[in-house]
Structure 1
Amino acid sequence: MTQTDSPTDEIRVAVSTVIFSLRRERAGEPARVVLPLVRRTRDPHEGQWALPGGWLNATENLEPAASRTLAETTGLVPSFLEQLYAFGDTGRSPARTISIVYWALVREDTTLATELENVAWFDAVTLPQLAFDHNDIVDYALWRVRNKVGYSRIAHGLLPELFTLAELREVYEALLGRTLDPANFRRQVENSETLIPTEDFRTGPHRPARLYRYDQDVELADRGPLPHSSLALR
């Protein structure tokens, strides 16, 4: 939650976001999934880390509210944003609060706003005890992204416009938490018809690697029949 005063309604509605990115300790090391958390400065759970979010304004739609609260608390603009779930068990907070939770992606070179001292990146699989039920929310978001990565092109939300197959495989391995066979992976993604090979190559100490891009005519993730937000295609 942000540190603004809450509404006085008996049931309050908040919007929070689980935002994933990739980080590595140093060049050449495997990427790991990380997320930004906000340290609470008031009760309940003062001093504990929590998901970024805030209260829903009466005149505000949900997805713009998720983007607004994320920008206000972390300074981040996601490359992908999708609604995750509504959490509203009666015992999740001292006052009855329903949280509309989104999950989002930002690319690896994205940084937090430097002036936000109460925000920091954490490893998604080794989190401390978070405020409220936010550990359960992160676990559910990880489950969702691991399921979706197999049948959508959401990995693009963590990649630059042009990438090698090895870089794409590294994103899959980081999200899934396991090593993938390079030959099988190449065959599967080339048969998916979502990648377009370019005439460019990445050069370095090893053999030059062809650069690919995603087919922009293919949805980043299937949103079903509901209207699509522009955030889904960044």
Structure 2
Amino acid sequence: MQEFFVTVDLVVLTILDGSLNALVVKRKYPPFEGSWALPGGYVAADEDLPAAAYRELEEETNLREGVHLEQLASYGAPGRDPRGRTVTIAWLALLPSSSDPSAGTDASDAAWRPVTDFMEGGLPLAFDHAQILADGVERARAKLEYSPLAAAFCPPEFTVGQLRAVYEAVWGAPIDPRNFHRKVTHAPGFLEPTSQASNVDGGRPARLYRRGTLDLLNPPITRATTGLTAPQGSTDQS
């Protein structure tokens, strides 16, 4: 009887220096020794899938609380793992801040790398992890259109400018500050204003917000129809 393995793989995303970054590890052992891969590992016999995902996330990032984690998809093509028949359950994790990653026992290094390094014909990823990463990035990009998921990249209290920077990093395109400010502050339940202000964006202090109770944005803020592309010479008024 053929052995059957179950693993979890993690698409862990954060924003560094204005760009969307993914957590990758360098494999210490064959197969794909020395190649970059997504963090992950085998599911223990007595372990539930979410527990395995959280365990792997904590081992690689030292983070467990304040992390958005959701199941992405399952991948089980024959031959995807040279070691045997393996089905992996992929998870998408979004971090509001980037701790220094730590390589697990089967990795020689761990690092944050811009997703464009792997998605534009650059560095290869082991197994089918390039497809998994692409699916995770697209899930994040799509969910920013119709949900308040962008706040998962922000600290508990944030400015509209910080939120806009998330959209720009994830979508990879500039957004007009005035139009964006108007859209997000007039979407009922999207943002909850606080009594505090911050100059974290530079310039004059801007109001701090928290994520509201809204689950779905209606109307959505879409990439194709938003009309939020920044005109030349625009300035931030958030």
Q: 2: distance between equivalents of 1:103 and 1:166?
A: 25
Query: Which of 165, 170, 175 does residue 170 from structure 2 map onto?
Result: 175
Cα distance in 2 between the residues matched to 1:71 and 1:220: 29
Q: In 2, are the aligned partners of 1:21 and 1:107 still within 8 Å (CA)?
A: yes
> Residue by residue, what CA displacement relative to the aligned partner does 1:119-178 show, whole Å, maximum 9, x if unpaired?
111111112101001011101111111000111111121111111111110001101111
1:201–1:209 Cα contact (<8 Å) kept: yes
What is the rounded CA distance, in whole Å, between the counterparts of 1:113 and 1:208 in structure 2? 36
Q: Is the 8 A contact 2:39 2:56 kept in 1?
A: yes
CA shift digits 1:38-69 (9 cap, x unpaired) = 11111111111111111111221111110112
Q: Percent same amino acid among aligned pairs?
A: 38
* Residue 29 of structure 2, aligned match among 27, 32, 42: 42
Query: Matches of 1:15 and 1:220 in 2, distance apart?
Result: 28
**Partner residue, 1:126:** 117
TM-score normalized with structure 1 length: 0.81
* Aligned: 1:67 with 2:67: no
Answer yes or no: is 1:212 the counterpart of 2:200.
Answer: no
The Cα of 1:110 is off from its aligned counterpart by 2.8
| Length-normalised TM-score, structure 2 | 0.80
Residue 78 of structure 2 is aligned to residue 90 of structure 1: yes
User: Following TM superposition, by how much is the alpha carbon of 1:74 offset from its aligned partner in structure 2, in angstroms?
Assistant: 3.9
Question: What residue is the counterpart of 1:23 in the other structure?
Answer: 16
Moved over 6 A (4+): none
Q: Match for residue 102 of structure 1?
A: 91
Q: Bigger shift: 95-104 or 203-212?
A: 203-212
Query: Which one-letter code corresponds to 2:19 in the other structure?
Result: R
Q: Distance in 2 between matches of 1:125 and 1:55?
A: 27
Decide whether the 8 Å contact of 1:15 with 1:100 is kept in 2: yes
1:76/1:111 contact within 8 Å kept? no
Is 1:152 the counterpart of 2:141? The answer is no
Q: Cα offset for 1:114? A: 8.4
Residue 199 in structure 1 maps to residue 173 in structure 2: no
Structure-1 separation of matches of 2:5 and 2:138: 27
Indicate the residue corresponding to 2:45 in structure 1. 58
- Contact 2:11/2:93 (<8 A) preserved: yes
Q: Is the 8 A contact 2:72 2:90 kept in 1?
A: yes
Q: Give the aligned residue type for 2:23.
A: P
User: In 2, Cα distance between the equivalents of 1:97 and 1:33?
Assistant: 29
* Residues matched between the structures, number: 207
